[in-house]
């Protein structure tokens, strides 16, 4: 019996140390899924090109043990791993990340770049 309890505690504590995210689509966004593990950008400032907002990600903290880290991603690569599947499923080209004062990635806006319009022609 003690062994089962110990195994449960070990498994429970290891599973609770990872942040997870929840994707909320924007109202009226047309989601066009991309392949799993698609390539996308992680941005911390708005891009200098037109884009459409597809939705947002809220990254929930993991259960903190011992008063340390919240378990939220603290690097762009960790954030990309947490939100990646949903970004690809939504058809995103990039996620505009928000970082809190502790350096943790707490939220992201999934965007799709707009195709450039036809070039203007001069007619005289």
Only one residue has tokens 């924007």, namely 26
Q: What Cα–Cα distance (Å) separates residue 70 from each residue in 17, 27, 50, 59, 62?
A: 8, 30, 34, 11, 6
pLDDT at 54: 95
Instruction: Specify the higher pLDDT residue, 46 or 17.
Output: 46
Higher pLDDT, 8 or 56: 56
CA distance 88 to 94: 9
Is the pLDDT assigned to residue 124 strictly greater than 60? no
Task: Return d(Cα 98, Cα 106) in angstroms, integer.
Answer: 6
Domain assignment present for 98: yes
pLDDT in tens, 98-108: 999 999 999 99
pLDDT for 60 equals 86
Q: Is the pLDDT of residue 26 over 90?
A: no
Average pLDDT, the chain: 80
> Mean pLDDT over residues 9-13, rounded?
39
Judged against a pLDDT cut of 50, whether residue 5 lies above it is answered with no
In a domain, 107, yes or no: yes
Contact predicate 31/86, CB 8 Å: no
Range of the domain at 38: 18-113
> Is residue 48 situated within a structural domain?
yes
Domain assignment present for residue 58? The answer is yes
- Based on the structure, what is the number of domains in the chain? 1
Instruction: For 94, list phi and psi in degrees, rounded to 5.
Output: -160, 165
Asked if residues 109 and 72 have their Cβ atoms less than 8 Å apart, the reply is no
């Amino acid at each position: 019996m003690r062994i089962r309890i110990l195994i449960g505690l070990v498994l429970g504590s290891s599973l609770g140390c990872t942040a997870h995210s929840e994707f909320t689509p924007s109202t009226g966004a047309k989601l066009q899924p991309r392949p799993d593990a698609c390539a996308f950008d992680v941005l911390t400032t708005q891009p200098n090109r037109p884009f459409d907002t597809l939705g947002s990600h809220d990254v929930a903290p993991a259960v903190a043990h011992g008063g340390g880290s919240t378990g939220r991603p603290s690097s762009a690569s960790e954030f990309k791993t947490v939100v990646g599947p949903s970004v690809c499923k939504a058809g995103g080209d990039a996620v505009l990340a928000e970082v809190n004062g502790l350096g943790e990635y707490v939220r992201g806006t999934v965007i799709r770049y707009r195709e450039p319009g036809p070039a203007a022609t001069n007619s005289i």
